[in-house]
Chain A
Amino acid sequence: MNFSDTAELADFRKKAGNWLNHVLKDFPEVSEESERESQARNWQDCLNQGGWLGISWSQGYGGRGLTELHTAVFNEECILRHAPTPIGLIGILLAGPTILSHGTEEQKREYLPKILSGEDIWCQGFSEPDTGSDLAGLQTRAVATLDGWRINGQKVWTSSGHIANKCLLLARTKSGKSRHHGISYFLADTAHFDVRPLKMINGDAEFNEMFIDNVFVPKNSLLGELNEGWVVAMTTLMVERSSVAFNLQVWARQILDRLLGLVIEKNLQDDQYVLDRLGAFESEVDAIRIGAIRGASSLAAGQTPGPEASALKLQWANSVQEISRFCLEIGGPIFQRSAINDQNFWMHKYLRARGHSIEGGTNEIQKSILAERVLNLPKSR
């Protein structure tokens, strides 16, 4: 059991920290949605030029050939410094690892470097109006043509859809009794999708609906086997829950830092109730970090990510939601002076956090996963 960096990791952490201290001067925190976007683009460029993207990907595909722990360390250093998020986050976190484990050599060479350079911005086209938690019920169809497929259907809640040019797209290629068999996984171009932004309750237009009307995708856009896309989709979801854990802990840490500032600003340092909540939050957020280190360590030791990732995701969603609600609580009614389309900082955070127990699989779904796979209870879905 060892939670501290190896000498090599410590060195890596130091280099990363130095580099970040140097470049982050040019990236002050911005709040306007439009500014955030251009900053996210510039930040991705900066990371890529510095060689800090795809840290665990092999060098042949533009990565650095290091481990998941290196990635984790780098992300941690970024978030401690309130660094922005790169524009191609979904590509980096989800598309890349999925293509790495299921792609052909040609697909890896084609897509991976462009994920890092930001030339391709990816989105995840899984959810549909009638298919959310029960993903296997998806109805978007892909009909084979001579040289590819024609796709018809509708996707919804697609984060980054409005800025993406590529989509991890699930579509049904065969109908039949088995719901899981017959789904295929495509690396699709979004140029001909009709993408319409949806405004979230905090005023941001972070996700979209996408109408796909007879859009052609070529043969080489199929990822994995025809009709066996479910397995590939499970990889994406697993990666989403586990590798994201390190980002999660630091996001939770950021909001907790803000709360600490608020407590001091409002002179509540001796309020027993406030101290109690702070102590509880600090423990939760530390536990997420420790859990993430335990998870990354077992990945690095060759174990496959297990259902425990669901526990981390639940913890994270709960903590961030509770912390951001508590900020509002001690802020009082003045924090509610927040326009629908221009929320103040605290309200913006709070409202966004409500989505954490929905996106990436709802809390209820995560609990069922734990009940079934860790506690061996019968299926309840």
Chain B
Amino acid sequence: MQAILTNEQKMMIDSVAGMSASGVEAAMTILKENEWPEEPDNILFDEWSSLGLKDFDSKSETGLVDAILVVYTLAKNITPNRFTSHLAAIQVISAAGLLPSVNFNGEMRYCLAVDEEDSEPLGPYDACLKGDKIFGKKKSIMHGREADVNVVILDNDKVVLTRPGIISSVTNFDILNPVVDITYEGSQFIEISDGAHAGLLRAIVILAAELCGIARGAVDLAANYANIRHQFGRQIGGFQGVAHQLADAFVAAETAWSLTLFAAWALDTNLAEAKKAIHEAKAKASEAAVFAAERALQVYGGLGMTLEAPPHIFLRRALAGSSQFGGVHWHRCKIAREILKSRSDITNLAK
């Protein structure tokens, strides 16, 4: 047992933290001027577009744990980026064994098309192949408009890579991750494989890490504000009503982060517990992110209710992420069924 970060991982975190130091300002710029920043996406795609693909890409020495460290650090500063959703997409194709055919020079950007009208989290899905053509309607695809390649989940655990389908705009609540709907009406596939489900589990860990970053980032944001805002002649952070809310949010964020680190490690290690760990990570990270963002908003007072202050950006991301790939309740029920099942397995074995 050596559950600590390596020096390389610490350096990686520092370097990503450096790139994302002005995340809050960049997010505000998107909100005000609708201008998406080029950086740090360009650097991230150039340098790390195959992050977390140890098993598939001989150039990459990194695993899922490394990938989530980057995702977490970006999210902590709510750094606008398209890299996180790209990472989620390539995790899916890696689990499906499609990597060698994929271009990783940073020019190609991938997006993940999963959900359908009324589909259950993790499927089944209606989208399918007819002959060698793809048919189906996918919803809420993050950064789908800018992607060069779509990773589309089909029925029967199939994954295909294809060129973008027909894009339709939707109203966006979360400004950090604009989504679109995409319809495929006979698109040709580039590659196909089984293994969609295994891939989506990896993508869920990426999303959980992002939510953990949002949670911790919201706590830090509010703590900074609580140190500069004065009322009754003192810093508001000196009031326990304020401080203890943030301590609660910190504990929630740490809990979620422990679970997410473990889930990523368990997947990297092919552990049997990985599945339960992923559900735990996603459930807790969703809960923590929404809780922490709401606490941050509260600590900002009236300012927190305005579009000028950053808490709502955290809150939007938290809500959007928490409902994607299964909400808190859905994942909790999965965990419960899993432990009840292994309990009855043990009992049956004893008989």
A residues sitting closer than 8 Å to B (CB atoms) are 1-6, 9, 69, 260-261, 263-264, 269, 272, 274-280, 282-284, 286-287, 290-291, 293-294, 296-298, 300-301, 308, 311, 314-315, 364, 366-368, 370-372, 374-380
Which residue on chain B has the smallest CB distance to residue A72?
B1
CA A380 to CA B266, docked complex, whole Å: 40
Q: How far is the CB of A104 from chain B (nearest CB, A)?
A: 33
**Given A287-B284, A291-B258, A371-B237: A296 and B65 within 8 A (CB)?**
no
Q: B284 touching A278 by the CB < 8 A rule?
A: no
Q: How distant is the Cα of A49 from the Cα of B46 in the complex, in angstroms?
A: 61
Residue with the greatest number of chain A CB neighbours at <10 A, chosen from B3, B243, B343: B3
Given A69-B1, A367-B244, A367-B247, is A276 in contact with B329 using a C-beta cutoff of 8 Å?
A: yes
Q: With both chains docked as a complex, state the minimum distance between the C-beta of B330 and any C-beta of chain A, in angstroms.
A: 9
Which of A6, A276, A294, A374 is close to B250, meaning CB atoms less than 8 Å apart? A374
Contact of B331 among A269, A279, A311 (CB under 8 A): A279
Contact residues in B for A366 (Cβ distance below 8 Å): 247
Q: Identify 13 new A-B residue pairs, CB closer than 8 A, beyond the known A287-B255, A378-B237.
A: A1-B264, A4-B1, A260-B343, A282-B280, A283-B259, A287-B258, A297-B4, A301-B2, A367-B248, A371-B237, A376-B227, A377-B223, A378-B238
Q: Which residue of A lies closest to B347 (CB)?
A: A264
The residue on B at minimum CB distance from A298 is B4
Which residues of B are interface residues toward A (Cβ below 8 A)? Answer: 1-6, 9, 65, 219-220, 223, 226-227, 234-235, 237-240, 242-244, 246-248, 250-251, 254-256, 258-259, 261-262, 264-266, 269, 271, 276-277, 279-280, 283-284, 329, 331-337, 339-340, 343-344
Q: How far apart are A241's CB and chain B's nearest CB, in angstroms?
A: 13
* The 10 residue pairs across chains A and B that have the minimum distance between CB atoms: A279-B332, A377-B237, A371-B243, A279-B335, A367-B247, A278-B336, A275-B336, A378-B238, A283-B280, A290-B258
Contacts of A293 in B (CB 8 A): 1, 3
Shortest Cβ distance from residue B237 to the other chain A in the assembled complex, whole angstroms: 4
Q: How far is the CA of A9 from the CA of B3 in the complex (A)?
A: 14
**Is the CB–CB distance between A260 and B244 below 8 Å?**
no
Q: Which residues of chain B come closer than 8 Å to A287, judged between CB atoms?
A: 255-256, 258-259, 280, 284
Judge whether B4 and A4 touch: CB under 8 Å: no
Q: Which of A1, A367, A368 contacts B265 (CB 8 A)?
A: A1
A-B contact pairs, 11 of them (CB 8 A): A1-B6, A2-B2, A6-B1, A283-B259, A287-B259, A291-B255, A296-B1, A366-B247, A367-B240, A375-B237, A375-B243
Contact A269–B340 (Cβ < 8 Å): yes
- A25 and B9 alpha carbons, distance in the complex (Å): 46
- Do A282 and B250 touch across chains, with their CB atoms under 8 A apart? no
Contacts of A290 on B, CB cut-off 8 Å?
A: 3, 258-259, 261-262
Q: Are B243 and A282 in contact (CB under 8 A)?
A: no
When the two chains form their complex, are residues B2 and A377 in contact, meaning their CB atoms are under 8 A apart?
A: no
